[in-house]
Structure 1
Amino acid sequence: MRTVSTAPADPGRSVLAVDVTAGGCFLVALLAERFMLDPVPSGDAVAAVLAGVLLAVAVALRRRLPFPAFLVSAAALCLEALATPASWLSPYANLLVVFSVARHGSRRQAWLALAGTVVCIGVYFTARDDVQRLTQPLGVLVVWLSMWAVGYAMARRQEEQRTIRRLDRERAVAVERARIARELHDLIGHTVNLMLVQAGASRRLLDRDPARARELLTALEGSGRDALTELDRVLGVLGDTAPADGDRLDRLPDLVRRVSEAGLLTTLDIGAEVRGLPDSLSLTAYRIVQEGLTNALRHAGARHAWVTVRHEDGWLDIIVRDDGRGAAGGYRAGRGLLGIGERAAMFDGTVTHGPGPGGFGLHCRLRS
C-alpha cells in the first residue's frame, strides 16, 4: 500500500531551490566568460574563481539571508576589481542582490545596504584603470539606486498589505466578539431578569397564596429549561454546528407568555405579513423585542407592556411600550439598548427610545 503525502510544499524550500539553481547557472556562465570567452591571466585565476564563487553564493542566498548575501557580493565585487580584470557579468549579480536586500531585508538592512552600495561602487571604479569618463560610475550608481528603490517600495507595499490584513483580522475578531456579547446579553440578561422577577414574586406569595407561588415556581423552572435550550442553540450557532432556527418571529407568542407569567402583562400585535422574512432579520427583530421586554421588566412600576410588529413598504417596524415610570435614577442607555442600535445598524435601521407620556417606549425600523 502506497502512502501519499497531502501536506503542502514548503514555499521557503522552493524559493531556496530556485535561488540555488540561479546561483549555479551564474557561476557556470561567469567561469565560461573568465576562462573561455575572455580568459583572465593565469596569475589572476584564483582570485577570479574565488570572486565568482562568492557571487554565486550571494545569488543563492539573496532571499534567505539578504543582508549577509549583500555583504558577500560587495566583498566579491571589490575583490574582483582589485585583483582581476573587469568582468561584464559580475556587477549584475551584485545588482540583483542589492534589489533583493531592499525587497526582502528589514528596513535597517535596506538602508545599510544602500550606503554599502555607494561605497562598493566607489571602490570598484576607483580600482579600475579603464574608466574614461565620470558619467560611467554615475550612470551605474543611478541604475543601482533605482533598483534599490524599486525593491524598497515593493517591500513597503507588502508590509502595508500585511498590516491591512492584520487589522482586518483584528476587526473581524472584534465584530465577532461583539456579536457573541450581544447574543449572550440578550439571552442571559432577559432570562435572568425573568427568573429574578418570578423568584421574588414566589417568595412574597409563599405564605399567603401557596398555589400561586407554586405556579410561579413552575414557571421559574420552565424559564430555566428554556434558558438552557436557548443557550445550547446560541453556542451551537456560534460554533456553526446548529441548523437554521427558522422564523424567529414565530416564537414571539412564547416570549410574551413567559413575560406575562412573570407579572408583566404583555399584549402582542403582530401582522401576518411578517412571515417569510430572512432568518437574520427575523432573529434581529426577536432579539429587539426580547431586550425591550427585559427593560420593561426592570422599569419601576411597569405592569403592562405592548408589542407591535409590522412589515410594509420594505420596512419592519418594531414597537415596545410599557406603563412604567422609567429606570430608577433617571434614564440612561445601557448595554442592551446599545446592542439594539448595533443590530439595527446592520439593516440600515433607526432606533428611537426613551421615557414618554405614560411609560417607556422603544421603536425600531429595519430595512427588509
Structure 2
Amino acid sequence: MPPTAATASRLRLPVLARVSGLVPAPLADAAPAAVLCVAMLVERFGAAARIGGRMPLALALTVLLTAAAAARRRAPLAAYLLATLALTVEAQAVAPSPISPYANLLGAYAAGRYGGRGRAWWGPPLVVVGVVGYFAGQDVEVVMPVGVLAVWLAVWAFGWAGAYRLAEQAAERRRARAELLAEERSRIAREVHDLVGHSLNLMLVQAGAARRLIDRTPERSRDLLVEIERTGTEALGELDRVLGLLRGTAPRLRDGAPDSEPGIAELPRLTERMAQAGLAVALHRDTPPLPPEQDRCAYRVVQEALTNALRHSGAGHATVRIVRRADATLVEVADDGSGPPPGHRPGRGLTGIAERAARLNGTAQHGLGPNGGFLVRVVLPVAEER
C-alpha cells in the first residue's frame, strides 16, 4: 500500500531541525560561550577597581562559566551544576556580575532541553538551590529572587517542552515507519500470493490431470503439458515482477501498484485457463469502465475465488458476476462445490481479498452460497467525482 499524505507528512523532519543540522555541533556550542566570555571579561576588567585583589578568582570563575556554557549540550546537568556553583561563588566571594547570570540561564535551558526525560527533572531543584545561594546575604527585596526564580524555571520549562515535543515527534516517526513497514509487508504478501500462488495452483491441478489422463488420452495430456509450460512461463514473469517490487525497480502506478497488474479486461483469458484446468466459468459483466484501483481489485477477487474453487471446493462450474449498482460495484463469484467445511477459517487468499476491499472502503463476504457451494461477494463503493 502506498503511504497516505498524512502518513508521509509525519515522516518529514521539521524544517528547523534540518536547518540546525547544517551547523556543526561544536560551533553551535562554542559560539554563544565565546560571546559570553568576551562580555564577561569586558565587564570584569571594567569593574577592576571594585574587584581589586579578587581579580584572579573572578577570571577563574569566568573561565568556568565559559566552559560550562560550551559543554551545556554534551553534559547538560553537570555543566549547569558547575555554572551554578561558579555563579554562587562569584556573587558571594567576588562581586555580582550583570553578565554572568546569562551564562547560567543558558545552562538552565540546556538542562531542560538536553538533560533527558529522567535526569532533566533535576533542573528545577538545582535552579532553586542556585537562586538561594546567589542571593544569600544580599540586601535585596524579596521580589527580586522570586522573579529570578520564576524566569529561570520558565526557561528550564521551555527547554524541557522542546525536548518533549521532539521526543514525541521522533516516536510518531517511528510509529509511522512501523506502520509503513507492516503495510508494505502485507502488500508484498498479497502480491506474491496473487501473482505467483494462482499460477502455481493452476499448474498443480493441470499436472494432476495430465498424470491421470496420460494413459487413456495422450493427446489431452499433451495439451495439458503445453498449458503447464505456458503457465510456468507466465509465472516466471510474475515472479520477476514481484522481485522487482521487492527491489524497488518495478514501474509503479500512482497508487503504488505494478503497472502491468491485470484488470477485468483479462478475465476472459482467466476463465479460459480455468476451463482448460477443469472448471467451467460463466462470466457476466455489466459495468462501465471502472477506476483503475477497482478494476485491479475486481480481477484479483475473481482470480482468488476461482483458484479456491478449483483447488479446494471440487467445483465443476462457477459463475462470475461484476455489475454496477446505484452506488457500488458488485463482484460475486459462486461455485457448485462442497462449500465451506465446518469450522472454516479464511486463509491468506480470502484475507487478501478482504484487505483489498478495505483499502477501497469496500466490504467482503464469503461463505455458503444460497444454492450450496462457496460464495465470495465484494462490494466496492463508487468513487466520488473530484
The TM-score with structure 2 as length reference comes to 0.85
Distance 2:157 2:92 in 1: 28
CA shift, 1:224, in A, is 1.0
8 Å contact from structure 1 (residues 202, 213) kept in 2:
yes
Q: Which residue of structure 2 aligns with residue 349 of structure 1?
A: 362
Q: Pick from 59, 82, 95 the counterpart of residue 49 of structure 1.
A: 59
8 Å contact from structure 1 (residues 246, 279) kept in 2:
no
Q: Which residue of structure 2 aligns with residue 157 of structure 1?
A: 165
Distance 1:315 1:134 in 2: 75
| Aligned counterparts, 1:205-220, within 5 A | 205-220=213-228
- Secondary structure of 1:333's match? coil
Q: Is 1:339 paired with 2:348? A: no
Kindly provide the CA deviation profile for residues 144-199 of structure 1, in whole angstroms up to 9, marking residues without a partner as x.
12221222122112111111111011001101111111111122322222111111
Q: Which residue of structure 2 aligns with residue 321 of structure 1?
A: 334
Kindly provide the CA deviation profile for residues 180-232 of structure 1, in whole angstroms up to 9, marking residues without a partner as x.
11111122322222111111111111222222111112111111111111222
Change (3 A) 1:65 1:115: same
Letter in 2 for 1:300: S
8 Å contact from structure 2 (residues 262, 299) kept in 1:
no
- Secondary structure of 1:366's match? strand
Distance 2:19 2:142 in 1: 50
CA shift, 1:293, in A, is 0.7
- Secondary structure of 1:337's match? helix
Change (3 A) 1:341 1:231: same
| Aligned counterparts, 1:106-125, within 5 A | 106-125=116-135
- Secondary structure of 2:24's match? helix
Q: Which residue of structure 2 aligns with residue 181 of structure 1?
A: 189
Distance 1:115 1:85 in 2: 24
Q: Pick from 346, 359, 366 the counterpart of residue 373 of structure 2.
A: 359
Q: Pick from 316, 322, 329 the counterpart of residue 309 of structure 1.
A: 322
Distance 1:144 1:332 in 2: 63
Kindly provide the CA deviation profile for residues 241-271 of structure 1, in whole angstroms up to 9, marking residues without a partner as x.
2262276222111111111111111122223
8 Å contact from structure 2 (residues 366, 375) kept in 1:
yes
Q: Which residue of structure 1 aligns with residue 204 of structure 2?
A: 196
Q: Is 1:253 paired with 2:268? A: yes
Q: Which residue of structure 2 aligns with residue 273 of structure 1?
A: 288
- Secondary structure of 1:227's match? helix
8 Å contact from structure 1 (residues 317, 365) kept in 2:
yes
User: Which sits farther off after the overlay, 131-140 or 72-81?
Assistant: 131-140
Q: Is 1:241 paired with 2:250? A: yes
Letter in 1 for 2:164: R
Q: Pick from 257, 261, 283 the counterpart of residue 296 of structure 2.
A: 283
- Secondary structure of 1:273's match? coil
Distance 1:241 1:212 in 2: 38
Q: Which runs of 5+ in 1 are unaligned?
A: 1-7
Kindly provide the CA deviation profile for residues 276-305 of structure 1, in whole angstroms up to 9, marking residues without a partner as x.
x33322221111111111111133331001
Q: Which residue of structure 2 aligns with residue 4 of structure 1?
A: none
8 Å contact from structure 1 (residues 40, 84) kept in 2:
no
Change (3 A) 1:44 1:329: same
8 Å contact from structure 2 (residues 83, 103) kept in 1:
yes
Q: Which residue of structure 2 aligns with residue 5 of structure 1?
A: none
8 Å contact from structure 1 (residues 299, 327) kept in 2:
no
Letter in 2 for 1:224: G
8 Å contact from structure 2 (residues 340, 373) kept in 1:
no
Q: Which residue of structure 1 aligns with residue 40 of structure 2?
A: 30
- Secondary structure of 1:321's match? strand
8 Å contact from structure 2 (residues 339, 372) kept in 1:
no
Q: Which residue of structure 2 aligns with residue 132 of structure 1?
A: 140
Q: Which residue of structure 1 aligns with residue 31 of structure 2?
A: 21
Change (3 A) 1:315 1:53: same
Q: Which runs of 5+ in 2 are unaligned?
A: 1-17, 253-258
User: Which sits farther off after the overlay, 189-198 or 287-296?
Assistant: 189-198
CA shift, 1:134, in A, is 3.6
Letter in 2 for 1:214: R
Q: Is 1:67 paired with 2:82? A: no
Distance 1:199 1:321 in 2: 25
The alignment yields a C-alpha RMSD, in angstroms, of: 2.3
Kindly provide the CA deviation profile for residues 93-116 of structure 1, in whole angstroms up to 9, marking residues without a partner as x.
111211111012212331223322
8 Å contact from structure 2 (residues 203, 228) kept in 1:
yes
Q: How many residues are paired up?
A: 357
User: Which sits farther off after the overlay, 104-113 or 36-45?
Assistant: 36-45
